[in-house]
Structure 1
């Protein structure tokens, strides 16, 4: 057999430094706008961003940071954090974004596990750094992202970011790196056990940026202005800081102020056309807009991910404010983009109700990702929109193992098991029905907690809701709704339960509903169902009282499996 005929193309490595170099050279005057921790608005260009990123690279090299070593960040979305994205990775070190919303003990564990050499931090986290420093003996230095005049009073001896940069001339050429060398490190935000590290490569990050910019993904262009509400410490802000310079998109960074009023005012002031964030942030924004009686003048579309977007929220954005919602799904192990709810030409010609049903799902994959659902025996299940299965994925920006767990790979026959339970319909649209640990198994059948939550929050009096499994002597598990009322709203348990009638199969109907002042969330804004299950571990459902030891009253069994 003869050798294959090789092509005769340039072998130019895909590196993150090439993204900021491209933006500086070809979109040099495009703006990066940041609401600073100091309280003012900072404004500069991609050309200036690359110059300062090179100064940061020089400063870190002068401090003795070597290629492959990790440099941590504890920072909000701002221009200095963006410089770290490129200044750290540009000379071959690894940018490790750390979630400051975690418990200090978790943050310390992550810093130590990553073996960070230096940690850059926004001054709002000065107290956190004072707590962390004694627990992280291998960190050589803590660098405050400010100038000398804003250095906070701290127990920890720190370096000043602006002073470090001022000592460098920026006369630095990005080295040519192996595109498969490590670029970024992100840790999962799991609620049980220690977080796991996902170590990305330059190649995977650039491919992810390309895919995220596609028309059927975020659809970014040099005519857009994007405001990522999703934090830069959470899975690289879904790749937006990489995709924006790739496309020359104006980048608007909101800093620490993520309340509805602050976000709306910044969006309006900067002509934002695209945004992205988790549902809890959009709840606050929509509540502010309703109360203030204001409307968007430029916002065209927003990506909602991190957890399922309630259909009621999607309809509010689109019907009340004319903003397209792109429902997205992904995970840290996927860099994170996997699917987005974008209709093709044929689907866009269907009746509005049919279109809406598709858009409420998590969408179809973008090129680079493949997916399947499998049964308990590992067999692939049909794409009929009905059959539940465990979701598996693969692709060039999906991990093949976790950082520092070289001995074992989580892959199953080359596929990554996501831990999600899902259906896939004949159109290829994914519908996440649960995390495998959250699924409610009643009488041997699965009930989607997410679907029940979406119905609950569609009630006009409900602000947020979670659905968890409660023990049941007859069905093993039954669903309980835990809901938060909107301020000033009134609804009874009976009224909320009646709201589910006719919307799901009778045996899916929740057995009970309780009201709480607020729901627990993870550091990334997801409902923390583990805490809820612990809180309601001893809760006795009314339907359970009629079983075992009491005369069984079928009229009480509102979830009879018929």
Structure 2
């Protein structure tokens, strides 16, 4: 017997209409120019999204087309993220820090018909599309196109330059959103490419809906009307973790912070200024941004009583960083785990109230518990391991917001029996809590034993003299591989490799301690803030680091 419920499609347009009708007073704050804030109400965002859909239609965009966005975190980006899927097309938010070749390939492979671009990035956009056979229309987030011509450069044919505000002038503020299939692609995102070539994932209207609902649940990010959420996660990073869609679903106001022009990441001072100015009760950010904020607060303290909790993802949070925010600033850190392939959130680290205090601490220091929508298993050599909290294997996922394949890529090495291979080595506890040990490619096989680079990084970061630390494995004639750590000291701090090696006493087993140490002024990171270990390995192979080798009996 089938049920009697209506099969109403789960569409992005319904989230937008709901936000305009029920949460019209909630706001989006984005930044233009040199961090100039611009705030818009949800009903205004919805009206401008409808006008944008009319303008895109006149430029030839129809259902199934791909419209790309190359911009910092401006309110117009949020408008586009709703307008494009709602009209039946798919939005592709491009990473502004990726290479020219990547941007060119993304535009070409997806046959992008319109490119929406930040005025600051227009020269870069024009440089890229000059190599396209058929140029998209280029729409600049501005009142007018500055220059003597609206013709596109190079040999590209077909497109023209337009100013968004000129296109929107006089447009209707409602649009007959089509009733597309909820399985239709609504948004595209590329993986960060930390372990190989970037691949595209196509999120459906249905997956965005279900992921947004999970983000709003009390066991997860717990977004609700009246919240003010500051996110430093850019739109090109998995749609800012899906936060805009979840915020519009519940009426939470959102501040989408961009780095200052020319900067790849937010500085501690900049993040502190944003907190002081907007006083959000929630923040979504990365451990790298939190590290910079903590260092700034050490010398420039400010009250953080308005801040209820910080949602942190991208990489595991060092225990020392977690405790520093809790004890010094009274701020709760909640870790989350996910990937582009999982939309991205797959776990949230809220403690189980039925567990002991010891277990609750372990639960919040790990990556969190899987919700009902995500199935997970640990696999080693084709065998599914028990969820006992100590068996280590590759984490595999499946669920309604986990991708089943890559767009235009039929390779099956990342998918097996309907499960996504994450590339992360991890354990799962009997209560379903995840603890990521390391990346498959980053774990260090030494003398038949496995050493977690993440464990060593967190241990080194316990030392108050250390601002940042990254660990890789390097070849060793006797053991196969041994750990090497890059150390970036805090300003004014001094330390020898031996002193830091000794400071690991009681925190790391003797045989796991790094043999090789290098002091650096900067540690390479990817465009999403993770350690770029491929770059570190390459630099080490080129002899770029001055390395000190420690042995237990030495006096170095």
Range of TM-score over shorter length: over 0.9
1:337 aligns with 2:345: yes
User: Who is 1:547 aligned against?
Assistant: none
Cα distance in 2 for partners of 1:474, 1:256 equals 46
Q: Is the 8 A contact 1:393 1:418 kept in 2?
A: yes
- Residue 206 of structure 2 corresponds to 203
Secondary structure (helix, strand or coil) at the match of 1:116 reads coil
Q: In structure 2, how many angstroms separate the alpha carbons of the residues matched to 1:360 and 1:301?
A: 14
Q: Which residue of 2 aligns with 1:43?
A: 39
Check conservation: 2:16, 2:248, Cα contact below 8 A. yes
Q: Residue 373 of structure 1 aligns with which residue?
A: 378
1:299 lines up with 2:307 in the alignment: yes
Q: 1:549 matched to which residue of 2?
A: none
Q: Is residue 440–residue 449 contact of structure 1 (8 Å, CA) maintained in 2?
A: yes
What per-residue deviation string (whole Å, max 9, x for no partner) do you get for residues 77-102 of structure 1?
A: 22100000111111100000110111
The answer to whether the 8 A contact 2:517-2:548 is kept is no
Relative to structure 1, the CA distance from residue 464 to residue 11 in structure 2 (aligned partners, 3 Å threshold; closer, same or farther) is same
Number of the residue aligned with 2:12: 16
Q: Provide TM-score, normalisation by structure 2.
A: 0.93
Q: Secondary structure of the residue that 1:88 maps to in structure 2? A: helix
Q: Check if 1:190 corresponds to 2:193.
A: yes
Residues 424 and 431, structure 1, Cα contact 8 Å, conserved in 2: yes
2:78 corresponds to 1:87:
no
Q: In terms of mean alpha carbon deviation, does 419-428 or 131-140 score higher?
A: 131-140
Name the structure 1 match of 2:288.
280
* Cα 1:139/1:465, change in 2 over 3 Å: same
Q: Deviations over 1:331-390 (max 9, x none)?
A: 00111001111112113xx33x543332111111122111111111x1111222222101
Describe the shift of the 1:65–1:557 C-alpha distance in structure 2 as closer, same or farther (beyond 3 A): farther
Ranges in structure 1 where 5+ consecutive residues have no aligned partner: 545-552
User: Structure 1 residues 447-456 or 528-537, which shifts more?
Assistant: 528-537
Q: After TM superposition, give the deviation of residue 286 of structure 1 in Å.
A: 2.1
Task: Output one character per residue of 1:500-542: Cα deviation in whole Å (capped at 9) or x when no partner.
Answer: 1221222211112211111111111110001111222377987
Q: 1:152 to 1:95 in 2, by over 3 A?
A: farther
Contact 1:401-1:409 within 8 A present in 2 as well = no
Match of 2:130, SS? helix
Aligned-residue CA RMSD in angstroms? 2.3
Contact 1:268 1:298 in 2 (8 A): no
Cα shift at 1:123: 1.6
Name 2:227's counterpart in structure 1. 224
Match of 2:422 in 1: 418
Q: Superposition pairs for residues 122-141 of structure 1, below 5 Å?
A: 122-141=118-137
TM-score, normalised to structure 1, is 0.92
C-alpha offsets along residues 103-123 of structure 1, whole Å, 9 cap, x if unaligned? 122221222222211111112
| CA deviation after TM superposition for structure 1 residue 406, in Å | 4.1
User: Is 2:230 aligned against 1:234?
Assistant: no
Residues 224-279 of structure 1: CA distance to partner in whole angstroms, max 9, x if unpaired? Answer: 11111111110010010110000110111223433333333333333311111112
Alignment of 1:368-517 (within 5 A): 368-376=373-381, 378-406=382-410, 408=412, 410-517=414-521
**Residues 1:555 and 1:459: Cα distance change in structure 2 (over 3 Å):** closer
Per the alignment, residue 177 of structure 2 pairs with: 174
* Cα deviation code 1:413-444 (max 9, x no counterpart): 11110111111223322111111111100111
Deviations for 1:30-78, whole angstroms, at most 9, x for unmatched residues? 1222232365322221111111000111111110011111101111222
Q: Is residue 470–residue 541 contact of structure 1 (8 Å, CA) maintained in 2?
A: no
Q: How far off is 1:449 after superposition? A: 0.3
1:408 Cα deviation after fit: 4.7
Query: What CA distance in whole angstroms lies between the structure 2 residues aligned with 1:503 and 1:518?
Result: 25
Aligned residue for 2:239, secondary structure, equals helix
**Equivalents in 1 of 2:408, 2:135: separation in Å?**
18
Distance 1:426 1:128, change over 3 A: same
Structure 1 pair 248–422 and aligned structure 2 pair: CA distance change class (3 A):
same
> In structure 2, do the counterparts of structure 1 residues 152 and 202 end up closer, same or farther at CA, with 3 Å as the change threshold?
farther
SS of the residue 2:526 aligns to: coil
On the 8 A contact 1:126/1:152 being kept in 2, the answer is no
Q: Does 380-389 or 366-375 show the bigger shift?
A: 380-389
Partner Cα separation in structure 1 for residue 34 and residue 47 of structure 2:
22
1:548 matched to which residue of 2?
Answer: none
In 2: Cα distance, 1:151 partner to 1:209 partner? 41
Indicate the SS of the match to 2:507. coil
1:308 aligned to 298, 304, 316, which one?
316
Q: What is the DSSP-based 3-state SS (H/G/I as helix, E as strand, rest coil) of the residue aligned with 1:458?
A: coil
Partners of 1:106 and 1:450 in 2: CA distance = 29
Residues 427/152 of structure 1: CA separation in 2 closer, same or farther (3 Å cut):
farther
Secondary structure of residue in 2 paired with 1:416: strand
* Structure 1 Cα separation of the partners of residues 149 and 499 of structure 2: 54
The size of the alignment, in residue pairs, is: 542
Q: Is contact 1:501–1:509 with CA below 8 Å preserved after alignment? A: no
Alignment partners' CA distance in 1, 2:235 and 2:149: 26
1:115 to 108, 111, 114: 111
